[in-house]
Chain A
Amino acid sequence: MSTISVTVNGRTYQSDVEPRTLLVHYLREQLNLTGTHIGCDTSQCGACVVHINGQSVKSCTVLAVQADGAEITTIEGLAQNGQLHPLQEGFWEKHGLQCGYCTPGMIMSAYDLLQQNPNPTEDEIRHGLEGNLCRCTGYQNIVKAVQYAADKMNGSGNSPGE
């Protein structure tokens, strides 16, 4: 067992983990943060994307011990004071999900994208979400959801009514 100290969504945890514990299992099973999903478990589908120190990563392919000392943000950390994050709101408003399994990872990847590129083109959104697979939507409404969030975060206010 190793002892790690991580800050997840602003709260600091000291935990004992086996070195082989994957970050996604630690988040889901030790911290009960089950918003982060396990999809393919082979670092392709992106359902498990969380942020480590501000960068999006696939948490099925990171060891929990590697996150020692890090700040982690999961989907549970986006809403503030009961207010959905613009991305969460965008997925709601634009019907960016059907079954919802990929949604937490999609949103966390989109969050990384919008931090680096606050005003992405449609192509840039599709490129930025390359690491996330959705088997329901055909991606169209996911792209619209990210555009909605970008507009809202940029304060243009154009998108909601279209």
Chain B
Amino acid sequence: MIPGEFQYFAPTTVDEAVSLLQQHGEDAKLLGGGHSLLPAMKLRLTTPAVLIDVTKISDIKGVSVNGSVTVGGGATYHAVASNDAVRSACGVLADCVAQIGDTQVRNRGTIGGSLAHADPAADLPAVALALGATITAQGPGGARTINADDMFVEMLTTALEPNEIITSVSFPRLGAGAGAAYEKMRQPASRYAIVGVAAYVKLGSDGNVAEARVAVTGAGPKATRQDATEAAITGTNGDDAAIAAATDKAGEDMDYLGDIHASEEYRRAMVKVYTKRALAKAIAQARG
């Protein structure tokens, strides 16, 4: 299978990429790792007239750990998963990206690409939501930040403008009293999430859950926060009964998608199973 014809540009700076986006408008697509875009182009599901390859922009490939974990939009999953500083500051992020696809996918796929594509079964959006990540995007008017909560609008659609590029994503450092986990039922061939649940908890000085964020991916058209579960676990002591009660509320108020791999009903059931696992693991980690 061969993609349709297109013009190819490989800018080396973000400014150059943004001005190419402005110039070519809706005809252009950004090419990162290409493992979602190129297969779609080979099937002629999409036929962009212009590809702007952002993999030659070295400024957006960095991974740094200071007060927070800042990952360039062009950093590969492999670069994040194999970074020891990321693993110790925000283990759930390294765990999550290490589960994406296979070695070859992780060698190409990028953090910005995953978030911008917003595949309903992508792993990273759930972790971005649960951790309250901040996405920095640059457009013709300069840079702006987008909270993960505002990022995922609907299936394959984000808050990014067509002429913006994700330059970096900031994740919190998980300090003492905080824990986070990503638990996933993977489709065995593609390794996309049939259901993936990310949970973050922060304990108060009394040892109770002071703050919780839970997000589900894979089950519906977009990654979704689980408000009722978060409210139910917050203020509790986080024991098995509290986790079970919070888990009961998971996946009740969201849209589902069924496919040949799993029905809507099955995904609804699995959201609860994986929410329970993710919450239990996050709470155990927070307790140290």
Contacts and interface: CB of A to CB of B under 8 A. Distances in A.
Dominant SS at the A interface?
mixed
B35 interface: yes
A56 interface: yes
Interface in B1-59: 1-8, 10, 31, 34-35, 38-39, 42, 51, 53, 55
A66 B53 contact: yes
B76 to A, nearest CB: 9
B107 A43 contact: no
A20 B1 CA distance: 11
Interface stretch (B83-91, B98-106, B139-147, B233-241): B98-106
B103 A130 contact: yes
B78 interface: yes
A63 interface: yes
A18 B51 CA distance: 13
B255 to A, nearest CB: 27
Given A41-B1, A63-B34, A130 B8 contact: no
Contacts of B42: 22, 41-42
A113 B35 contact: no
Contacts of B6: 19-20
> Is the interface on chain B under 10, 10 to 19, 20 to 34, or 35 or more residues?
20 to 34
Contacts of A19: 5-8, 51
A57 B39 contact: no
Contacts of A66: 10, 31, 34, 53, 55
A44 B190 contact: yes
B191 interface: yes
> Is the interface on chain A under 10, 10 to 19, 20 to 34, or 35 or more residues?
20 to 34
Nearest to B3: A20
B277 interface: no
A70 to B, nearest CB: 11
B37 to A, nearest CB: 9
B189 interface: yes
B173 interface: no
Contacts of A131: 101-105
A56 B104 CA distance: 6
A20 B55 CA distance: 16
Contact of B34 (A21, A44, A55, A62): A62
A43 B103 contact: no
B2 A57 contact: no
B249 interface: no
Contact of A130 (B51, B78, B102): B102
A2 interface: yes
A61 B7 contact: no
Contacts of A43: 35, 38-39, 104-105
Interface centre among A43, A128, A130, A131 (most CB of B within 10 A): A43
Contacts of A18: 5
Nearest to B4: A20
A118 B138 CA distance: 41
A129 B260 CA distance: 25
A57 B6 CA distance: 23
A61 B34 contact: yes
Nearest to B43: A42
Interface centre among B1, B4, B8 (most CB of A within 10 A): B8
B117 interface: no
Given A61-B38, A68-B10, 7 more contacts: A19-B5, A41-B1, A58-B105, A61-B39, A63-B38, A131-B103, A131-B105
13 contacts: A20-B4, A25-B2, A44-B189, A56-B103, A58-B104, A58-B108, A61-B35, A61-B38, A61-B39, A63-B8, A63-B31, A65-B53, A130-B103
Q: List the 4 shortest-distance A-B pairs measured between CB atoms, nearest first.
A: A131-B102, A19-B8, A130-B102, A55-B107
Interface of A: 2, 18-22, 25, 41-44, 46, 49, 55-58, 61-63, 65-66, 68, 109, 112-113, 128, 130-131
